[in-house]
Amino acid sequence: MHDDIEPVVFVVNGNEDVRKSLRQLVKSAKLKVQTYNSPQDFLYAYNPAQPGCLVLDAVMPGMSGLDFQYRLLADGIRIPVIFVANHCDVSTAVKAMKVGAVDFIKKPVDISILLDSIQKAFRLDARVRREQSVKADIMAKISLLTPREREVMDLLVSGKSNKMIAHQLRVTRKTVDFHQANILKKMGVDSVVRLLLLTQRAQADSERRQDTKRSCSC
């Protein structure tokens, strides 16, 4: 879906000289780069459909880099973040990594380390976007189910047999078989096992999001 869009390195740094330096380093590797003076400027211009990564100063006026990372996650923006800092604050680095930062690089920035981190971030961003696309497709299919089909599907993926479902819902086995056939067709799978795998995939993504939110609140 986004494979044909070239990723961008977004640099957010309140120091003009540092911004220019990082811009030149990234451009020297023939990568697209956009620079911003503040988190607010970045948020105003950012298009979530644009693949890329964020190179973020750990210390900025008004809002720390870590606080901004929390803000992004709270807003549902999952762009990979690479921190740069004058010194390695272990506590801040650990917190940043805990909520998904790709790297924490000490200034002056080593170009090879930065470029390695950027490529790692690009790969992560591509994977996350694929997962989001798959989940969106699954949720779109689920939205096609009737309330009764959704109820039957939940019971199917919980491991209940059609006979047990019929007894629980007080309907005939034939009715459950009919609903199951419709569910499999709408979900685009050919068995209850594949249906289970599909729903688990969507659930796993949701659980990862919740784990990240819990980490941000610690």
pLDDT digit string (tens) for 48-78?
Answer: 999 999 999 988 877 888 889 999 988 888 8
For every residue of 93-140, DSSP letters joined together read HHHHHHTT--EEEESSPPHHHHHHHHHHHHHHHHHHHHHHHHHHHHHH
What pLDDT sits at residue 204?
A: 67
* Residues 106 and 59: beta-carbon distance below 8 Å: no
Type of residue numbered 89: D
Is 136 part of a structural domain of the chain?
no
Q: Is the pLDDT of residue 209 over 70?
A: no
- Residue 205 banded pLDDT, cuts 50, 70, 90: low
Q: Which domain holds residue 150?
A: 144-216
The CATH number of residue 56's host domain is: 3.40.50.2300
d(CA 163, CA 146): 20
Tokens coding 198: 């599909």
d(CA 14, CA 50): 23
Is residue 125 located within the same domain as residue 88? Answer: yes
Is residue 35 located within the same domain as residue 64? Answer: yes
Q: What is the pLDDT of residues 159-191, one digit of tens each?
A: 999 999 999 999 999 999 999 999 999 999 999
The CATH number of residue 167's host domain is: 1.10.10.10
Is 89 part of a structural domain of the chain?
yes
Is residue 26 located within the same domain as residue 125? Answer: yes
Angle in degrees, 0-180, between the axes of helices 111-142 and 16-28, rounded to the nearest 10: 80
Burial bucket for residue 56 (CB in 10 Å: 0-12, 13-18, 19+): buried
Out of 106, 130, 154, pick the residue that ends a domain. Answer: 130
